[in-house]
């Protein structure tokens, strides 16, 4: 009878390594889809090991390339509690992906089996899903070959948003425990969100419609499904939801298009001051925007969602009598606009923590608070409630009808907000609840503070690894002398702030600058970019 090793060798022969060097980065593996067969097969092997490491708990595999163009694809693992894969395992994924031959791959796999102290012999379990890309079903075939070869039990959830898969992983592993999260089904996800939304808005029906651009991705059909459960409590208009033509995915629409180009999708027909939102291709990011005075485009990005959420959660904590027991904080990266940081500390009186780029860093830091609000400026984020926060919210005896009312809303929000990962559909409903409660238009939301003019510049460099940062990527240790140059440039501009860091996803150094005026921000960014270029070999 063929052993598991024989089966792995035979299956791997169907998916030869193309000779490329791969790296599991912050977003898993992501590249042109036709390079990914061996990578996805090998991620399947790792998912099986990861499940064995956790005594047969369910591990998730998501096949998506998020906001990338249609011809790309990608794959990432979801850990048992619905979080992103633990960092130390990223290196194992990279090791497996780069084994050149089937034999070498088997050797790496067997070595990991030995080194990882896998404990019990429980059957490994994996669940997986994909976005709407044409290459998705082929890559699922590669994944299944690995799961079959390793004797892993698996369930195919077909098309899902990334956060839906995270939800299902968390539900699967918490069922019957004190952390039980929800029913292990797509329907369970919609019911959880819709019920929480209806409880949270109560009689404060959102005013007017919100138009949601779904990037022609999986968020479209899933949002339409969610709407069925909302019983008309909100008018959501779905646009750019054509998933039958996968070549349209993320093309001239979606959150990344809107954030990068600082404009609405050309197809947008929204009138002045109408609420609009855009999701990305796998619906884990969302940004809001509207046409302001004189047709001026106004973006309400992740910073704005974070400040809005923090302000409302702070109010609810005070109104429900829980201000003392709930430590609320906001986590940002260095890319957060300085005005947003200032607003949180001065106006809201809440602490702000800055972390390195990448949502896993933000998520981790947010867990240090009872209620941790975190968003990247690009719109990926959520609010995490600690176990103690859930206890406090659920056990608190309200002292007045007003307290009871606020407590009910807070409870509903702790159900509405995806605890595993940033979720565009959950974030959409969160923003809608808050605007409805405050009776705010998008203009009122914008008016909370004025963003400092800022500029992001990309400098292509040969060796990005020579840029070594400290202080949550806000300061450079190397190349020697460059930080002093940046400091001295910043000092010449009113409210000047700038930093340079190596991108984790491209061969480039990103320079961010902000200052009191548009011209000064542009000028500062350009000068720092020039200094970065000068500091690198041509
Ligand atoms: P890098 O390339 O490391 O700057 C970019 C985004 C991150 C995050 C990752 C994808 C900026 C400045 N950076 O990272 O926010 O979305 O891609 O995981 O937008
Ligand atoms: Zn995404």
Q: What is the DSSP string of 292-310?
A: -GGG-EEEE-HHHHHHHHH
Any ligand 1 atom below 6 A from CB of 46: no
Of the pLDDT bands very low, low, confident and very high (cuts 50, 70, 90), residue 534 is very high
- Would you say 376 is a known binding-site residue? yes
> Of all atoms in ligand 1, which is nearest to the CA of residue 506?
2
Question: What CATH class has 190-297?
Answer: alpha beta
Q: Which atom of ligand 1 is nearest to the CA of 456?
A: 12
Give the helix, strand, coil percentages of the chain, each rounded to 5.
45, 20, 35
DSSP for 361-401, please give it.
HHHHHHTTSSEEEEE-TTS-EEEEE-HHHHHHHHH---SSH
pLDDT at residue 381, as a whole number: 98
101 lines ligand 1 (CB under 6 A): no
Q: Indicate which ligand has the atom closest to the C-alpha of 464.
A: 1
Residue 538: pLDDT band with limits 50, 70, 90: low
CATH topology of domain 454-534: TATA-Binding Protein (3.30.310)
CA distances from 46 to 28, 50, 110, 115 (A): 13, 6, 11, 13
More confident residue, 137 or 120: 137
Cβ of residue 510 lying under 6 Å from some atom of ligand 1: yes
Closest among 196, 183, 446 to 300, alpha carbons compared? 446
- Note the ligand closest to the C-alpha atom of 499: 1
Q: How many CB atoms lie within 10 A of CB 67?
A: 24
| Nearest-angstrom CA–CA distance, 346 and 312 | 15
Q: What is the C-alpha R_g of the chain?
A: 23
- The pLDDT of residue 203: 84
How many angstroms separate the CA atoms of 273 and 277, rounded?
Answer: 12
Q: How far is the CA of 264 from the centre of ligand 1 (A)?
A: 21
Separation of alpha carbons 134 and 155, rounded Å? 20
Confidence of residue 505 (pLDDT cuts 50, 70, 90): confident
Q: Which residue bears the tokens 């070549």?
A: 247
| Chain segment 491-500, per-residue pLDDT in tens | 999 999 999 9
CATH 3.40.120.10 segments of the chain: 4-159, 190-297, 302-446
| Both structure tokens of 456 | 């992001």
Task: Confirm or reject: Cβ of 360 under 6 Å from ligand 1.
Answer: no
- Is the model's pLDDT at 437 over the cut of 70? yes
128-152 pLDDT, tens digit each: 999 999 999 999 999 999 999 999 9
Rounded to the nearest angstrom, the distance between the alpha carbon of 345 and the centre of ligand 1 is 25
Q: Which CATH class is domain 302-446?
A: alpha beta
- Look up the CATH superfamily of 4-159: Alpha-D-Glucose-1,6-Bisphosphate, subunit A, domain 3 (3.40.120.10)
Q: What is the pLDDT of residues 179-232, one digit of tens each?
A: 999 999 999 999 999 999 999 998 898 999 999 999 999 999 999 999 999 999
The model's pTM is 0.96
**Nearest residue CA, atom 11 of ligand 1?**
378
Instruction: Give pLDDT tens digits for 240-296.
Output: 999 999 999 999 999 999 998 999 999 999 999 999 999 999 999 999 999 998 889
What angle in degrees, to the nearest 10, is found between the helix axes of 186-201 and 424-438? Answer: 10
Phi, psi of 389 (to 5 degrees): -65, -45
Give the Cα separation of 296 and 263 in Å (integer).
9
CA of 66 to the centre of ligand 2 (A): 4
The length of the chain in residues reads 538
Which part of the chain is CATH 3.30.310.50?
454-534
24-28, 92-96, 299-303, 448-452: the lowest-pLDDT one = 24-28
pLDDT mean over 455-468? 93
* For the CA of 501, the nearest atom of ligand 1: 4
The fraction of the chain above a pLDDT of 90, given in percent, is 95
């Amino acid at each position: 009878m063929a052993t598991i090793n024989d089966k792995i060798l035979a299956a791997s022969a169907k998916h030869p390594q193309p000779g490329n060097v791969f790296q599991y980065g912050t977003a898993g593996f992501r590249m042109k889809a036709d390079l990914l067969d061996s990578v996805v097969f090998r991620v399947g092997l790792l998912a099986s090991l990861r499940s064995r490491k956790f005594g047969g708990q369910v591990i998730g595999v998501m096949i998506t390339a998020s906001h990338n163009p249609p011809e790309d694809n990608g794959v990432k693992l979801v850990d048992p509690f619905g979080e992103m894969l633990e960092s130390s395992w990223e290196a194992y994924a990279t090791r497996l992906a780069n084994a050149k031959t089937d034999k070498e791959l088997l050797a790496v796999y067997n070595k990991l089996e030995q080194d990882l102290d896998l404990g019990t012999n429980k059957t490994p379990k994996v669940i997986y899903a994909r976005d709407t890309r044409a290459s998705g079903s082929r890559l699922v075939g590669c994944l299944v070959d690995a799961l079959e070869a390793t004797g892993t039990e698996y369930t195919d959830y077909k098309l899902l948003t990334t956060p839906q898969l995270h939800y299902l992983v968390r539900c699967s592993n918490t069922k019957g425990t004190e952390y039980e999260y929800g029913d292990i089904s797509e329907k369970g996800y919609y019911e959880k969100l819709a019920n929480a939304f209806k409880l949270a808005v109560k009689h404060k029906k959102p005013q007017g419609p919100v138009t949601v651009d779904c990037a022609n991705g999986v968020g479209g059909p899933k949002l339409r499904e969610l709407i069925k459960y909302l019983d008309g409590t909100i008018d959501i208009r779905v646009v750019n939801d054509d998933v039958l033509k996968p070549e349209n995915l993320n093309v001239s629409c979606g959150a990344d298009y809107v954030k990068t180009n600082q404009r609405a999708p050309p197809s947008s027909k929204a009138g002045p001051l109408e609420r609009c939102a855009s999701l990305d291709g796998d619906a884990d990011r969302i940004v809001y925007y509207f046409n302001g005075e004189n047709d001026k485009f106004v973006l309400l990005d992740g910073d704005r969602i974070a400040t809005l959420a923090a302000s409302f959660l702070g109010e609810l904590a005070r109104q429900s009598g829980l201000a003392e027991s709930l430590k609320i904080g906001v986590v940002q990266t260095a890319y957060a606009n300085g005005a947003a940081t200032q607003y949180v500390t001065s106006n809201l009186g809440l602490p702000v923590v800055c972390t390195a780029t990448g949502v896993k860093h933000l998520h981790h830091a947010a867990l240090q608070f009872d209620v941790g609000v975190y968003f990247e400026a690009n719109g990926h984020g959520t609010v995490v409630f600690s176990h103690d926060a859930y206890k406090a919210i659920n056990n608190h005896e309200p002292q007045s009808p007003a307290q009871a009312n606020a407590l009910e809303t807070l409870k509903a929000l702790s159900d509405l907000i995806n605890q595993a990962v940033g979720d565009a559909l959950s974030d959409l409903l969160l923003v809608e609840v808050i605007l409805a409660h405050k009776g705010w238009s998008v203009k009122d939301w914008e008016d909370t503070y004025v963003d400092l003019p800022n500029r992001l510049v990309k400098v292509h460099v040969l060796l990005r690894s020579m840029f070594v940062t400290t202080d949550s990527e806000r300061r450079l240790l190397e190349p020697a002398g460059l930080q002093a140059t940046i400091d001295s440039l910043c000092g010449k501009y009113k409210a000047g702030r700038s930093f340079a860091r190596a991108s984790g996803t491209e061969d480039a150094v990103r320079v961010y600058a902000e200052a009191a005026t548009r011209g000064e921000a542009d000028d500062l960014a350009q000068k720092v970019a020039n200094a970065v270029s000068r500091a690198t070999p041509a």
